[in-house]
Structure 1
Amino acid sequence: MEDADVKEVGLTKDVGYQFGKRKTFELSLEDAWEFMFYKKGLDIWLGTLPGGLELLQPFQTKEGIVGKLRLMKPFSHIRMAWAKQEWDNTSTLQVRLIKAKYGTTICFHQENLLDKAQRAEMKIYWDNVTQEITEVLSDHKN
């Protein structure tokens, strides 16, 4: 096999580099939605917003995440433009909730990442976010 035939991890034909992370939690779909898209969950995965997250309104978090919520389908998913303030590009982020046999799966999928370095940066970011969500939700259960 020639080098040109080797597919690079995370590189797609249509949307550049992408990364996805998912984890199932013992939480109803409704409780997962409320957690993820209201204050406590938003602070973890998006950052601190001066107001709420509003459809088609640009936002900037205290932590320097900028973007715009493009789509919100309650109890299913959201899609947004998402970038770190220092980035020259904007990615597309989808956060989806899927009812699972025992709880709800929370999925992060990010595409239009610039290169493999930015993909690696976002892998660390979403790994940390998932870990923090896990800690908060397990503290909440106890």
Structure 2
Amino acid sequence: MKLALIKTAAVSIALIATVGAASACNLATATQFGWDNSAGVQQFGNCNNTAIGQTGWNNTAAGISNGNWNTVVIGQDGAFNTGVVGQNGSFNAGAVQQSGALNYGEVVQNGNFQTGAVIQSGVGNTGALNQTGTGNTALIIQAN
């Protein structure tokens, strides 16, 4: 198992890339506070877990996984934030959770038996979910 952890403050960039064998599980987390932050996590292989948390405004987060049985979760609190999850493979789960105003959340999944969710609370938010394959589950929840 590989573990990567990055914690940053205002106006910073966090980039993580992990590559695992078919039997290895990876965990990558990034936590950022403030404004104008960017976090990107890309994982290859099976059994990968990604968590990105951002508090503030005008932050950008991207979580990408290529393989099977992977999980990517992005949580953002604030305004003008962008969170994007991209997954290729099967049996993956991806979610973007945002609270605040004028945020953009998107989950894109290519493969079979994927679960994707965009959950937003606040005003003026945009949620998008795009899946290709069979047996996929999609959920978008928006509330004021």
Q: Higher Cα Rg: structure 1 or 2? A: 1
Q: Which structure has more RCO (C-alpha within 8 Å, separation ≥ 6)?
A: 1
- TM norm structure 2: 0.25
